[in-house]
Amino acid sequence: MEDIQRRITDLENNVPLRVGIGVETLYILADSSESSREKTGNYFLDKFELAINGDFDGGLYYRSRWDYQVTQQAFFPAWTYAGLKHNDNWATEVGVIIQPLGAGVDGSYYDNSFLSDVPLWLGLANNSEPGIKTKFKQGNMDWVFAFTKNAELSSKPTARFRPDLISQVGLSDVEVTNTFHGGGAYTIDLDGASLQLGSNGQYGDLYNTLTNESGGEHWAATAFANYNVGGFALTLQGMTYDYNLEKAPVGGPATTDTVYLSQGKPIPASGNVYSTRISYTMPTSVGVFDTVKFYHDYDFLDSGSDDTISADDTQFSIAGVHLSRGAFNTWVSVYTSKNADFANGGPDDDTWNTQFTVTGALYF
């Protein structure tokens, strides 16, 4: 470990880069799994992270994080891009960028529970794709526009930062391509509190890899509100989306009402998602930790599908606490879900299922 730290320090002293490493472990006890119940859960090493960031003369900067997912045995980018800060209010980034979709206008939307939410597992939150993004600020108004060429390439369909619609034999004949993104948000100062109101969306093509022609189109749009005062934070979001396929997959089990993303699970090709995120952060003194966040995340997916395998609505409720101190982080969560197999929330049997999870993470 001392040798690794010395090498990192030497690198930072010679070039304007900052290097960080992360390690994450995961414990899951799921009542829908007989083996999980009998063994009282499973505990495993989940992920390694390598982050490299740098700032250079002339407004140039670099941001990168690569993940090694132990369960997938794959190394892939969470994001990696070069940026140019034109001035204090305008910047442009090129590389594997985070799509600007969801609360936070720049794609910074994420759930409090760290692991899962419905928009994320639909490929419509915190998702990275190769492309270009520009963002600028005018007073209280933030704007962002982007173009992404396609999903990031990978040797394994599931080996990616977030699920994507990609071509898979028997499941999907199409992949996303040439997607345009745009959005804006206005922040209101409320004398000690802040309220951000915004909207963003994306539109792009689907390419059929069997026929080598258009496979349809896809789009998504959101409206959101972020409220913060003291340690209290509240996010409300409504999202509508459509993967509009021209043809059903050849030899597959689905019609055009269902699509299979890279995790190999069916989702409705269209639907509406309603989300709330609520949290309260305060100082604490629990073991080594000095900060605690209490949170509750909720998602409701109103399915637009008539297929048996994707017609049921999905609900996802996550309550928990996040304990932290510097590099040390622990999330303790209880997941209660219904028809959320695509989001690792239990089988699609129209019954409620529960998971207890503990995520431990060290970032340095």
* CA end-to-end span of the chain: 12
Q: What is the CATH number of the domain that holds 353?
A: 2.40.160.10
Helix (H) or strand (E) holding 123: none
- Spatial neighbors of 31 by CB under 8 A, at least 6 apart, are 37, 346, 353, 354, 355
What totals of helices (H) and strands (E) does the chain contain, helices first?
Answer: 3, 18
Higher pLDDT, 364 or 158: 364
What gap in Å lies between CA 58 and CA 55, rounded to an integer? 9
Higher pLDDT, 138 or 349: 138
Q: Count the Cβ atoms, other than its own, within 10 Å of residue 192.
A: 8
Look up residue 221 and give its two tokens: 């749009």
- Is residue 153 very low, low, confident or very high in pLDDT (cuts 50, 70, 90)? confident
Lowest mean per-residue pLDDT among 101-105, 174-178, 294-298: 101-105
Look up residue 360 and give its two tokens: 């431990």
Q: What is the DSSP letter of 209?
A: T
* Count of domains for the chain: 1
The answer to whether 319 and 335 are in contact (CB under 8 A) is no
Residue 163 domain boundaries: 2-363
Look up residue 114 and give its two tokens: 């760290």
- Is residue 194 very low, low, confident or very high in pLDDT (cuts 50, 70, 90)? very high
User: What is the residue-averaged pLDDT of the chain?
Assistant: 91
**Residue 346 pLDDT exceeds 90:** no
The answer to whether 337 and 316 are in contact (CB under 8 A) is yes
What gap in Å lies between CA 53 and CA 112, rounded to an integer? 24
**Residue 192 pLDDT exceeds 60:** yes
Q: What is the DSSP letter of 168?
A: B
What gap in Å lies between CA 264 and CA 173, rounded to an integer? 13
pLDDT, residue 308, reads: 87
User: What is the pTM assigned to this prediction?
Assistant: 0.92
- Is residue 156 very low, low, confident or very high in pLDDT (cuts 50, 70, 90)? confident
pLDDT, residue 284, reads: 95
Closest CA to 249 of 219, 202, 206: 206
**φ/ψ (deg, to 5) at 6:** -65, -40
Look up residue 348 and give its two tokens: 């699609």
Query: Each residue of 277-305: b (16+ CB within 10 Å) or e?
Result: bbbebeeeeeeebebbbebbbbbbbebbb
Query: What confidence tens digit (pLDDT) does each residue in 22-48 have?
Result: 999 999 999 998 999 999 999 999 999
pLDDT, residue 72, reads: 81
The answer to whether 357 and 28 are in contact (CB under 8 A) is yes
Q: What is the DSSP letter of 363?
A: E
Cα–chain-centroid distance for residue 34?
29
